[in-house]
Amino acid sequence: MASEPVNVKEFQELAKNVLPKMYYDFYTGGAEDQYTLKQNVEAFQRITIRPRILLDVSRIDMSTTVLGYKISAPIMVAPTGMHQFAHPEGEVATARAAAACNTIMVLSYSSNCSVEEVASSCNAVRFFQLYVFKRRDISAQIVQRAEKSGFKAIVLTVDTPRLGRREADIKNKMVVPRLKNFEGLSSIAVDSNGGSALESYANETLDSSLRWEDIGWLRSITSLPILIKGVLTHEDARMAVEAGVSGIVVSNHGARQLDYTPATISVLEEVVHAVEGKVPVLFDGGVRRGTDVFKALALGAQAILVGRPVIYGLAAKGEYGVRRVLEMLKYELELTMALSGCPQLQDITRDHVRTEHERLRSML
């Protein structure tokens, strides 16, 4: 009998053993050369922690709030699509695990389960991820359904005017799955020209003309707060604040869109400085350890979102696997805080980390 995983990374190997190649490649793959995919994880390894000693860490408090909603730790579930490729219960199982861990799940617009199914699966705070379709009426309908179903915020993903070139999906002739949210609204019948049907579907349906002005349109159809996901520069961070968003998610889409963009952890501080505390900054990309969470918090993130590891946990062990992934990250963060002399999240400061640039500069 295989031993129980002792860290998040070990769930990936379990997932690989149970998933069909097409689905495993879909979840794990990045764009083109996958340079950014590697950097998202490896950039964390170039940041070191500066622990402080002889401080009372007998009680560690990891709780925080996001948009006023309290969660047990600053670790949320990122929007990732098509959970039924990983497990028959799909997003419903993920939602239950997130609720059991007292955290927020961001439901992907490309979920296999409908917003109503996820909403009725358990009582919890959830956000909804939105892509804007060329047919704005479809986007408006799904936003209004999410709001009616009790979702608490809209996470507008803005880095996908077209789908990135994911070569594994092209080779595998990736299919378009059943998306319950759009049944009767959008056909999945597309001409893939022998490649990825998912890419063809996305490029036919997503609105590549989306502009900053359209955030006003979104605000006009919902009373929910709007977070913008896909910010990587200080210029766009300032534009987002000016547009009146309620929060920013620093993200390069899990390195699945434009290759050779920077690792998200390397630009987090740039975005945080640009925002000047006017809205919360969340972080997405490459988190595999509690030490990664600690580093992101030290660089200014209010909370982090975790994507692929959740999918690996779901594929390997269903709802229990997702719960274990989140619990592992929480335990590792708690331990890191204790060993760094930080009994509360507000005790984690910029002085607790040293970037590679700072290390090299100190050697001059």
Q: What is the DSSP string of 199-214?
A: HHHHHHHB-TT--TTH
Reported as a pLDDT band with limits 50, 70 and 90, residue 192 is low
Q: Cα–Cα distance between 254 and 307 in angstroms, integer? A: 8
For tokens 């009373």, the residue is 223
For tokens 């975005």, the residue is 271
Catalytic residue among 83, 87, 253, 352: 253
Q: Does residue 300 have a known ligand-binding role?
A: no
20: its two tokens: 């069909």
Q: Residue 268 in contact with residue 302, Cβ under 8 Å?
A: no
Average pLDDT over residues 231-242: 98
- For the CA atoms of 3, 289, 103, 342, the dihedral, rounded to the nearest 10 degrees, stands at 120
Question: What is the residue-averaged pLDDT of the chain?
Answer: 94
Q: Tell me the per-residue pLDDT of 298-337, one tens digit each, with 9 for 90 and over.
A: 999 999 999 999 999 999 999 999 999 999 999 999 999 9
Listed residue (107, 129, 131, 102) closest to 118, CA to CA: 107
* Count of helices and strands (H, E) across the chain: 14, 12
Q: Does residue 336 have a known ligand-binding role?
A: no
Q: Tell me the per-residue pLDDT of 79-134, one tens digit each, with 9 for 90 and over.
A: 999 999 999 999 999 999 999 999 999 999 999 999 999 999 999 999 999 999 99
Pairing of strands 75-77, 303-306: parallel
In angstroms, the Cα distances linking 11 to 76, 159, 251 are 18, 28, 23
Reported as a pLDDT band with limits 50, 70 and 90, residue 185 is confident
Listed residue (165, 91, 147, 141) closest to 318, CA to CA: 91
136: its two tokens: 């704005």
Average pLDDT over residues 228-235: 98
Reported as a pLDDT band with limits 50, 70 and 90, residue 193 is low
Q: Cα–Cα distance between 1 and 97 in angstroms, integer? A: 24
Highest mean pLDDT among 130-139, 197-206, 346-355: 346-355
Handedness of CA 113, 116, 121, 122 (dihedral sign): positive
Q: Cα–Cα distance between 43 and 242 in angstroms, integer? A: 30
- Confidence (pLDDT) at 205: 85
Q: Does residue 349 have a known ligand-binding role?
A: no
In angstroms, the Cα distances linking 262 to 151, 248, 284, 285, 304 are 31, 17, 13, 11, 17
Task: List the beta bridge partners of residue 48.
Answer: 354
Q: Residue 76 in contact with residue 282, Cβ under 8 Å?
A: yes
- Confidence (pLDDT) at 67: 98
Q: Which has more confidence, 169 or 192?
A: 169
- Confidence (pLDDT) at 117: 97
- Confidence (pLDDT) at 2: 60
Q: Cα–Cα distance between 347 and 24 in angstroms, integer? A: 39
- Confidence (pLDDT) at 196: 78
Q: Which has more confidence, 229 or 175?
A: 229
Average pLDDT over residues 68-87: 97
**pLDDT at position 189 over 80:** no
Q: Does residue 278 have a known ligand-binding role?
A: no
Q: Cα–Cα distance between 154 and 151 in angstroms, integer? A: 8
Q: Cα–Cα distance between 355 and 114 in angstroms, integer? A: 42
125: its two tokens: 């705070």
Average pLDDT over residues 253-275: 98
For tokens 């996305």, the residue is 202
Reported as a pLDDT band with limits 50, 70 and 90, residue 198 is confident
Specify the pTM.
Answer: 0.95
Q: Does residue 253 have a known ligand-binding role?
A: yes
Residues recorded for the chain: 364
Q: Cα–Cα distance between 293 and 326 in angstroms, integer? A: 12
187: its two tokens: 């056909």
Q: Tell me the per-residue pLDDT of 113-128, one tens digit each, with 9 for 90 and over.
A: 999 999 999 999 999 9
Q: Tell me the per-residue pLDDT of 23-52, one tens digit each, with 9 for 90 and over.
A: 999 999 999 999 999 999 999 999 999 999
- Confidence (pLDDT) at 357: 78
Q: Does residue 313 have a known ligand-binding role?
A: no
SS3 128: strand
Q: Does residue 288 have a known ligand-binding role?
A: yes
Reported as a pLDDT band with limits 50, 70 and 90, residue 190 is low
Average pLDDT over residues 180-199: 70
| E strands in the chain | 48-49, 64-66, 69-71, 75-77, 105-107, 126-130, 154-157, 226-231, 247-250, 281-284, 303-306, 353-354
- Confidence (pLDDT) at 1: 45
For this structure, is 253 an active site residue?
yes
Q: Does residue 251 have a known ligand-binding role?
A: yes
Q: Does residue 134 have a known ligand-binding role?
A: no
